[in-house]
A = this chain, B = another copy of it.
């Protein structure tokens, strides 16, 4: 058997602890799989004396991860510090520059510096593996980098944030509001004290830009992304979606179009019978449409110490086995520039929820505006509010919800139509608009 692979782990939080536990439990199995023993020899964390529930005295200890990267007697540097700059970035750069392989779970770092880091890795013959950075335990990076390397890919999309999916799932199952679900998610540890990053879609965006690069062979474009979170979703939307045969999911979608690649993160109507619609709670799922393989869907735990550790250790095992897949699926120099498709040209169906003043002619006005914009309607649902049940009696002060589902149209057409509708004074508030993803 070849020499032991020496691993340095920087960051001993939940994931770091799981990595140590996994290697202790399944080290023999990994050695049989890779032909090498894999052993943690060095660790780095701020406080050596903190009680972590395990003994760290057997490891070379570094308070500074950059020092471990520069001087540690290690073959692989596992970065579990987090953040897109500071010690995480500095230590990863230092390790790669020294030709030390790097395994990281850090999506923010990859999203911001992925191409630059790939260049350093390639220049120094080091691997940079990051399966855990996207969709946790789901092997989507390997699937794109290796299993689908013989496919032209037209779209990759997924549920990439467990917090949002947990909130949307509970809103649907229990009919409770976004705010109440969020509080509960915070109480249960599924959402951060400051949940902005999750619920506004930024976390999904970080993961999506990595998938885009892998799927389309383009340089990572973290800023060229359409971003919309889930804070505006109401139980009325979720209920209407249900009645119309849809569920609402926060999707990250990267799609090849005639004008370029769309990168978008937004609440999305997905048909109830689609695979992605079945993914509930904190689970993640990613689907990829390849021209030869067709659509592949991978689902599983997108976060959590143990699931993340599973992906981290698989990446370490690849290094041990001697696998050398290019960081972004090909050499950085071969990546194309990202050509952004204009979001206003996005094509698809739309769900529109209007709050319409209940007076004669109001609906005709709306239908007229949609028709003028060239938008055809697939369904129209008008419901009376509780409290205005008396038939035949108009109450101009009580606007009524009207739901429209459009046939395929463009973003620019729908936005212009909604502006015209608002200018006519027939609706009581800004319309709700949710994109429908074509999953046939």
Contact = CB atoms under 8 A, between A and B. Distances in A.
The complex is assembled from copies of this chain, and their number is: 2
A145 B326 CA distance: 20
A150 B300 contact: no
Interface stretch (A304-312, A361-369, A400-408): A304-312
A310 B295 contact: no
Contacts of A300: 293-297
Contacts of A150: 22-23, 26, 29-30, 309-310, 313-314, 317
Interface residues of A, number: 63
A163 interface: no
> A-side binding surface: helix, strand, loop or mixed?
mixed
A283 to B, nearest CB: 9
Please indicate which of the listed interface residues A25, A152, A310, A334 has the most CB atoms of chain B within 10 Å of its own CB. Answer: A310
Interface string A136-173: 01110011011111111000000000000000000000
Contacts of A151: 26, 310
Interface of A: 18, 22-23, 25-26, 29-30, 32-35, 131, 137-139, 142-143, 145-152, 217, 273, 275, 278-280, 290-301, 304, 306-307, 309-311, 313-314, 317-318, 321-326, 329-331, 334
Given A139-B139, A146-B323, A294-B306, 19 more contacts: A26-B292, A29-B150, A29-B217, A30-B149, A32-B334, A33-B145, A33-B146, A131-B147, A137-B292, A142-B142, A146-B317, A146-B318, A147-B314, A148-B314, A151-B310, A293-B311, A294-B304, A297-B298, A322-B322
* 3 A-B pairs closest in CB distance: A150-B313, A139-B147, A293-B310
